[in-house]
Structure 1
Amino acid sequence: MLLRLDPAVHDALAAWAAAELRSTNAQIEFLLRRALADAGRLPSAARPIPRRGRPPRADRTAEPPPTS
């Protein structure tokens, strides 16, 4: 999908996305979803945004052993 944006708006979005470790595309989707949710218009069939990146290590997600 082609999206025409003012270059200054695109630069601001790109900088915001970089600060939040997202791509510009992911930042736009995040903002659109938030606006839809705030307006009560987010479709119930919309799937959550998938988490990107490396999955958590098993030894970091396990509960620590009980201490005596």
Structure 2
Amino acid sequence: MRSTKHGSHAETYQKILKAEKMTPERLRSFPGFEEIEEDEAKHVIETLECFCGIIVKHISKKERDEEP
């Protein structure tokens, strides 16, 4: 992986893995989600995790394609 001025992407990935996981309770702390039901909150979290996975794969593929 390439290094950036803020560190390698591997370091960033490790920070993401160590970050506090989203929970329904934490989600309710964000504006617009204060009254969300437990099941819907779990669905929103699952959707966000899938979306983030897509973004990571896209960025990783783009960087691999750009390497000399």
What TM-score does the superposition give when structure 1 sets the normalisation length? 0.34
Could you say which structure has the higher helix fraction? 2
- Name which structure has the greater RCO, CA cutoff 8 Å, separation 6+: 2
